[in-house]
Amino acid sequence: MRKTKVLVGLLSTAVLLAACGNEGDAAAPSGSAAEAAEQVVRYTAPTELATLDTALMTDINSANYGGHIIEGLLRIDADGKPVPAIAAEEGTISEDGLTYTYRLREDAQWSNSTPVTAHDFVFAMQKLVNPDTGAAYSYLTETIVNAPEIMAGEKEPSELGVTANGDYEITFQLSQPTPYFEYLLAFSPFFPQNQEFVEEQGDRYGTSSDTVLANGPFTLENWDGTGLTWDLVKNENYYAADEVQLDEVNVQVIKETSTALNLFESGQVDNAHLTGQLVKQYADNEHLVVQPKARTAYVEFNWDNEYLQNDKLREALGLVINTEDLVNTILGDGSTEIGGFLPEDFVSSPVDGTDFAEEAGDFLEYDVERAQQLWDEAKAELGVGAITLSLVGDDDEKNKTISQYIQGQIQNNLPGVTVELRNVPKKNRLALADADEFDLLQTGWGADFADASNFMDLMYSESPYNEGGYANEEFDALIESAKSTNANNEEARWENLQDAHDILEEDYAFIPLYQEAESQLRNPAVKGILFRSVGNEFDLSRASVESE
């Protein structure tokens, strides 16, 4: 999302595929939740909220709903491009790409009626880089002047190169050109926070709907920090409140597909996520929509596990997972096989337009015979006849099904390997990942901005998202080169990132599972939902309910 046009073929906003269907395949939501054009949508979510503190958000569900209540300088429009939000107009970017200056609109307010100012952004950015915050996304600030030194504890947060020029102008000073910087300004860690309110709340900030302020189209109400329901309520203090048609979005977490389907068919909710056989069953239904995502699902290894340090074992584990069967038989929701770390149709070569994923090629194709040979060799090298590995994943129906499939594929094809499943709520899974309490981690990454580095940085040895502790000096050097020496050389930077991907493949550093798509039944009376393949996945701020 950058004004300086480096790298990138954005995935276009996800196209909704709605097939003409046979009546009776799914009951049309007559007498639905949207009856009589009441401007209330009853929406289902797959997982809980983890936090509403934008500095600490790491999961997509929290970001999706956080993005409805808090806006940054920029937001992502229907074409996948950054456009002004709290910024009054497009920013001014210096010729050397090191200085970004924005004027703020003067009619933006927090939900407590205080103005949104440049100081709110400066406070939030200083909080993000402060090592005491422990923000996983702080690394995204590394090209802002003094950010690396602040994160290392060598300088004070007040020395960050983000300056308020009065109440309604802000300047970002970079240490090196950052082609995707404007994308970052539309990303939740770069959103503002009201200093007085945050300091008043202390450690409670963002832990419930009562401990956060909104400056976006909605406020978030009735969330106690752990519950499975919450409400988005139209924010009358929003600068564009006249463009917001919905009065409320009542959200409930539903992890069982059959439960969501029953509620949809009885008109009690306006959407239902489908997986597996249900997607096939409703494939011709007129209410089905399929949303492609720039999101990779994969298995991460814990490199502290002495067994998993064996490259033959890691390769064997990957070779026995039949991803074709996984996406077509087990999931059946439009998700597709993936050959590497990056999704397809995400970024393309600055030289010839070749897709990154296509150029990187495939690895770990399904090959049980080869896997069993490698497992025999690994046993001899490790001096064991059997091992037990834990697999940690989320506890929603889809992820539990995937966990069981992975367990079966490994145990059935590699005699002597036992996989113990631990499926927990997402908030707990994130905590277990941070604490390195896993052997195999069933995880994924959705693109926050349209640049290959958004994925490749995950495996950098010092990345907070490298939960498994993968480390390769040559890989790190290539990532560092792409960020510094070749930051302004599109072709050389592309080669750095491709070479780094080759190293991940050579090291069998992860197991690719699939590129995610999401299938939902949706009430046709709900119009105008914006879906994105990059960044926050959906936007209800300009949606409405129409009577039939």
Q: What is the pLDDT of residue 79?
A: 83
Half-sphere exposure of 286 (CA within 13 A, CB side): 11
C-alpha 522/C-alpha 526 separation (Å) is 8
Comparing CA positions, the residue from 478, 484, 465, 481 lying closest to residue 506 is 478
Which tokens go with 227? 């519950």
Predicted structure pTM score: 0.78
pLDDT of 36 reads 52
Express each pLDDT in 96-129 by its tens digit.
999 999 999 999 999 999 999 999 999 999 999 9
Query: Which distant-in-sequence residues (6+ apart) come within 8 Å of 384 by Cβ?
Result: 307
pLDDT tens by residue, 20-67: 333 334 444 544 444 456 999 999 998 999 999 999 998 989 999 999
Residue 83 burial (CB count, 10 A): 15
pLDDT in tens, 352-378: 999 999 999 988 899 999 999 999 999
Is the CB of residue 421 less than 8 Å from the CB of residue 404?
Answer: yes
Maximum pairwise Cα distance, the chain? 70
The tokens for 187 are: 């990303």
Q: Could you identify the residue written with the tokens 């070779």?
A: 319
pLDDT of residue 9: 33
Q: Are strands 387-394 and 440-446 parallel, antiparallel or unpaired?
A: parallel
For the chain, the first-to-last Cα distance in angstroms comes to 38
Q: How far apart are CA 265 and CA 287, in angstroms?
A: 11
* pLDDT over 80 at 16, yes or no: no
Query: How much is the pLDDT for 14?
Result: 34
Residue 448, pLDDT score: 86
Distance CA 406, CA 422 (A): 13
Residue 2 has a pLDDT of 26
Asked if residue 280 has pLDDT above 90, the reply is no
Instruction: Name the strands in the sheet holding 99-103, side by side, starting at the edge strand that comes first in the sequence.
Output: 92-93, 99-103, 169-173, 162-164
Q: Residue 457 to residues 79, 137, 142, 245, 528: CA-CA distances in angstroms?
A: 25, 11, 12, 39, 34
Helices (H), 50-117: 60-69
Q: How far apart are CA 326 and CA 316, in angstroms?
A: 17
Looking at residue 548, its pLDDT comes to 63
Q: Rounded to an integer, what distance in angstroms lies between the CA atom of residue 473 and that of residue 500?
A: 11
Residue 11 has pLDDT above 50, yes or no: no
Distance CA 501, CA 340 (A): 8
Percent of the chain topping pLDDT 90 = 79
Query: Residue 90: its pLDDT value, please?
Result: 96
Between 280 and 229, the more confident residue is 229
Task: Output the CA–CA distances (angstroms, integers) from residue 73 to 68, 154, 188, 329, in the order listed.
Answer: 14, 29, 10, 43
Q: What is the bridge-based pairing of β-strands 248-253 and 40-45?
A: parallel
- CA 359, 363, 364 angle in degrees (round to 5)? 165
Q: How far is CA 403 from CA 298, 365, 399, 440, in A?
A: 11, 19, 6, 10
Is residue 502 within 8 A of residue 339, CB to CB? The reply is no
State residue 499's pLDDT score.
98
Condensed to tens digits (0 to 9), the pLDDT of residues 391-419 reads 999 999 899 999 999 999 999 999 999 99
**pLDDT in the model for residue 29:** 53
Most confident of the following: 208-222, 269-283, 515-529: 208-222
The answer to whether the CB of 390 falls within 8 A of the CB of 374 is no
Whether the CA torsion 121, 124, 128, 130 is positive or negative: it is positive
Separation between Cα atoms, residue 237 and residue 218, nearest integer Å: 9
Distances (CA, A) of 340 to 356, 411, 509: 10, 24, 11
Model confidence band, residue 17 (pLDDT cutoffs 50, 70, 90): very low
Q: Which residue has tokens 């599972």?
A: 513
Q: Which two tokens stand for residue 349?
A: 């070569």
Q: CA nearest 338: which of 276, 299, 296, 294?
A: 296
pLDDT for the residue 22: 35
Distance CA 128, CA 136 (A): 9
The encoded tokens of residue 406 equal: 């992975």
Q: Would you say residue 246 has pLDDT above 80?
A: yes
Higher pLDDT, 376 or 292: 376
Using alpha carbons, select from 434, 461, 546, 454 the residue that is nearest to residue 497.
454
Identity at 164, one-letter amino acid code? A
pLDDT score for 18: 33
| pLDDT value at residue 440 | 98
Other C-beta atoms closer than 10 Å to the C-beta of 392 total 24
CA–CA separation, 78 vs 58, rounded Å? 23
